Chains A and B, each alone.
Chain A
């Protein structure tokens, strides 16, 4: 009895001791992360500040967090070029992001699941099949010819989704997440006579929630940021995503600013730098909300709970 109590006291003592050093480490973590966040925030503040500045003062004084000469011209340029299309552009982008992400996650997860079935012999070949395109790319011209001439993706909504629907990196990432799911679960299900489809649907898909959310986030970000597919395949204005509008507008402003030979009085008042910064603010807004949302699902203990349950 006495010994036990003694032991217990020792333990608590020990516990307090360790938490002192733990606390020190934790404080260090808090500070380090805070500093890193500031390093990441500062350029963003510069971008916001500059986007609200007058172009001339930016050219002469450089970027500033607090604008020297307040101006909304950059946003006027953006709104001017988007005009009534801004809603449509946001809608296209959101539609692409949502459908694309869902489709990508399902397709990738299915593929990653197959890569993870131990007794499935061809999985080695499938791994290779998936990996090779990560290194060898077809080159622009053949890819473009296939997409336009044979798949007829021009002015097709699917053109904004299909070509980047399967991202090998994300599939490998998912495969890795699936691996952390205890195999006994699948084995047990198999003994109960569950088919592979069922194992995938009932065990892997729900249990790898963290992985699916993470990969979904990555897919969403890439769909959200993409302008290239629109540049290649979309000519109809109704199908322009937001990023493509902005890309086009920036190229336009850049062209006008560079075109000194125009003899038409173009000058440094063309809001080039400020517009660049403003486009960041316009596109980053909605997506900034996505991460905290996704973060909710990246929490601990999902798997453990499931195993015990």
Chain B
């Protein structure tokens, strides 16, 4: 005690200043803490009430089924989206959109935008869940969802999807849930509805070049080689920047029906067996074909390092994979800014083979385990897919102000992004934009009709037992197989090394474990 008296005034003031700084810091901190801790308390308080209301609400119901779901208490959900909130979106979320949310589902929706880099495993969303920060929903894709499920981040939504998605069930294909089904539970609510049959199984080529060289169809790899050769000779275009394991290439290499599953493994749709890709004749055929192309100068030397996003559109390559007949709207407008007379067309290699729908590509909403408002999120997703009016409202804005309907097509007045069009777009209810011609729409609407569901549809692998093997196989595959699949390395001198290295990395364990999971999945099916 005596010693303290010896301290002179200056030190006292310094100590005081330091203490003030520290208390200032903790002061700010505890403030934030209070507001944070208050919110969940309020939520849990409101939650049981909400549930009761909705349950008993059915008897009180007025006109439509969905409005019967409308809870009596107002609550707020926080939804995480990616990208930038456009000024118009901000405006609508303060006025028209918010009003609709309150009128329809008595819920205030708050949006939180994060950069697109955080979309996926290991990003900020995962961090937020892991550290217990409150939010109620975020968009997700099947791959990310699988990883989050394994970490225990996702909430089982099985109980809410039956009750709170009445309109959704009318407009969205319920098989979409399969992509988010783990151990019998459903862990995300998909949104949107677009054809995905045979996705990546077609090849997009330049119709104008086809016409010029006198080809009228491409249905085999020989046709494709002939076309690529001619395009190189007459137009100086490289063939492609895609690797030889592209589905449209493998489709043409044999009579088997192979669909890719994961690194180095494909599924034979007929025998229901897993195929070790490196041991398959298809791998050999594809690598030899690419190597031949490489020798002929059809494959660019920078195939593995080029970062041009869309070389086909930039008039650098003569073909690329197609997606469900969309080349007319996906590739042509871009390509025509470089080559005005360019036309594109999409062909199936081996058109006689069946087409498979292997995954539901569309986005879904995940609900973190920390949220207590899964029911509200379901209502929210249901609303986005309720009917044409709602789907158009959230994707295009207010009719008359943000867009006009001309002959049933959307002509935009305001081009700012609202709720993502690609997310909400539902071929059953959404009005197409003017870019979608009638003839295109006809093909597009019926595109999935001839597609068979792939065996792997809804199958997701749990890697937790084979993490080490998987990690090694991924890196080895990329290092040893990709140069072969790019045509840069020949088949004969390199195949043995690839096989030996992968064996050493535990290929058999890896294959056996996935086979086991797959058998289990098939048995349940």
Q: Which residues of A are at the interface with B, using a C-beta cutoff of 8 A? A: 56, 59-60, 81, 83-84, 140-141, 144-145, 148-156, 158, 162, 195, 197, 231-232, 235, 247-249, 251-252, 254-255, 257-269, 272
Contacts and interface: CB of A to CB of B under 8 A. Distances in A.
Contacts of B314: 56, 59-60, 268
Interface stretch (B27-35, B269-277, B370-378): B27-35
A81 B84 contact: yes
A81 B326 CA distance: 29
Given A155-B32, A156-B28, A264-B433, A144 B131 contact: yes
B334 interface: yes
Interface in B48-68: none
Nearest to B320: A260
13 contacts: A56-B314, A59-B308, A81-B84, A152-B29, A152-B31, A154-B32, A197-B14, A252-B82, A255-B119, A260-B310, A263-B425, A265-B330, A267-B335
B163 interface: no
Contact of A255 (B82, B112, B127, B199): B82
Given A235-B112, A262-B330, 13 more contacts: A60-B314, A60-B315, A60-B338, A144-B127, A156-B29, A156-B32, A195-B10, A197-B14, A252-B83, A257-B310, A264-B421, A264-B435, A267-B313
Interface of B: 10, 14, 25, 28-33, 36, 82-84, 87, 112-119, 124, 127, 130-133, 194, 199, 308-310, 313-316, 323-324, 326, 329-331, 333-335, 337-338, 361, 421-422, 425, 433, 435
Contacts of A272: 309
A257 B313 CA distance: 11
A88 B87 CA distance: 15
Contacts of A84: 87
Contact of B84 (A145, A197, A248, A262): A248
A70 to B, nearest CB: 16
A152 B133 CA distance: 11
B84 A267 contact: no
A252 B116 contact: yes
Contact of B422 (A140, A148, A262): A262
Contacts of B84: 81, 248-249, 252
A235 B331 CA distance: 36
Given A260-B310, A268-B314, A149 B132 contact: yes
A262 B114 CA distance: 20
A22 B46 CA distance: 83
Contacts of B131: 141, 144-145, 148-149
Given A56-B337, A197-B10, A269-B334, A263 B115 contact: no
A56 B422 CA distance: 24
A33 to B, nearest CB: 33
Given A152-B33, A158-B25, A263-B329, A268 B115 contact: no
Nearest to A270: B309
Contact of B309 (A149, A150, A231, A257): A257
B29 A148 contact: no
Nearest to A162: B25
Contacts of A258: 309
A155 B35 CA distance: 12
Nearest to A57: B338
Contacts of B324: 263
B310 A145 contact: no
Contacts of B32: 152-156
Contact of A56 (B83, B331, B338, B361): B338
Contacts of A141: 127, 130-131
Contacts of B313: 267-268
Contact of B326 (A144, A232, A263): A263
A265 B329 contact: yes
Most buried by A among B82, B309, B314, B425: B309
Contacts of A249: 84
Nearest to B122: A140
A252 B30 CA distance: 34
B124 A267 contact: no
B29 A267 contact: no
B92 to A, nearest CB: 16
